Structure 1
Amino acid sequence: MSTKGHVSCLTGSLGSMKDGSTRPVYERGTGFLLARLGSLTTRSWTAFLNEHQLTQGQYTLLVALKQHGSASQRRLAELVAMDARNVVLVLDSLAAANLIERRPDGTDRRRRIITLTEEGNNLLAIVADAAAAEQDRFLHALSDTERKRLNHLLQRLYDSHVPAADPQPG
């Protein structure tokens, strides 16, 4: 594909405003819309997590533990695609907040197994409910059918660019 075709794909047609939109042409291109909405959702999501005293890294690790169960620090780093050294710092903050517990591995004393605490499970339940409400607020302009279709299309795009995590325990 030529550069011109690539740019056209991301910016949208530079033709006339036949669709009746009063927005400038650059505000109608797919690339602009994805980038702008990504920025808006990032700000909204970060503010939302801050209200629950969480960072994105903390939330991601908590969700991975909820979904996959207890895991080693190394496995958690793999699951969330985070550098193992950074995982330790995030786990330290979660342990300090009593959201996780580190236990020695029964088969290898050098390894630690990370488990969600009752407080961690409770916080995730609260955050999940609040996140659903926040998502409804952000996507209010779309019907349920449109939301499902949008999510399906975004998931297809994401899957085509980001390989799925290895589901096998490590």
Structure 2
Amino acid sequence: MSGDNERAAYERGTGFLLARLGSLTARSWTAFLAEHRLTQAQYTVLVALYQHGPVGQRRLAELVAMDARNIVLVLDTLAAGCLIERRPEDTDRRRRTVTLTGKGNALLATVADAAATEQDRFLHALNATDRERLNHLLQRLYDSHIPPGDLTG
């Protein structure tokens, strides 16, 4: 007996496998980000700023699907690390525009390179074709449950 036959029936079910691998991936990703002194929320904010450029604090909260009140702590931490800057808007001094700094850009580049290596390590059992197919299938499933742009689902 080898392979699938050695595993309990529940360990061969799609739901179990997705949940278990999701848990392993989440743990691995959280540890990976911690090595770079980032949380998932901080990383998400940095990526959103990289993709969208300078943006108002309220809009940034929408982009990362975070309550506008809760994003303040994340922004405070990123600003303390000189990864972002917050400046008053010209038209309304009470509102803040958030900008990624050079240090923030550099950190994102470092993390992106390291993330690719970490992903290769995690997916080592799959060749490039299998990885592409897996990603395609997972994207189809994801899109069927969460419409594009809806990160709250």
TM-score bracket, normalised by the shorter chain, equals over 0.9
Shift of 1:20: 5.3
Paired position in structure 2 for 1:87: 71
Paired position in structure 2 for 1:140: 124
The structure number with the bigger radius of gyration is: 1
Structure 2: how far apart are the matches of 1:107 and 1:163? Answer: 34
Question: After superposition, what is the alpha-carbon deviation per residue over 1:24-76, rounded to whole angstroms, capped at 9, x for unaligned?
Answer: 11000000000000000011000000000000000000000001111111111
Paired position in structure 1 for 2:145: 161
Q: Mean alpha-carbon deviation: is it higher for 122-131 or for 67-76?
A: 67-76
Structure 2: how far apart are the matches of 1:37 and 1:66? Answer: 29
Paired position in structure 2 for 1:29: 13
Q: Are 2:108 and 1:113 equivalent residues in the alignment?
A: no
Q: Any stretches of 5+ residues in structure 2 without a counterpart?
A: none
Q: Which amino acid is 1:47 matched to? A: A
Q: Any stretches of 5+ residues in structure 1 without a counterpart?
A: 1-16
Q: Which amino acid is 1:46 matched to? A: T
Paired position in structure 2 for 1:122: 106
2:86 to 102, 125, 138: 102
Structure 1: how far apart are the matches of 2:107 and 2:19? Answer: 30
Structure 1: how far apart are the matches of 2:100 and 2:4? Answer: 52
Q: Which amino acid is 1:95 matched to? A: A
Q: TM-score normalized by structure 2?
A: 0.93
1:42 to 23, 26, 32: 26
Identity score, percent: 77
Q: After the TM superposition, which segments of 4 or more aligned residues of structure 1 sit over 4 Å from their partners?
A: none
Give the 3-state SS of the residue equivalent to 2:69 in structure 1: helix
2:43 to 54, 59, 67: 59
Q: Which amino acid is 1:141 matched to? A: A
Q: TM-score normalized by structure 1?
A: 0.84
| Superposition RMSD in Å | 1.5
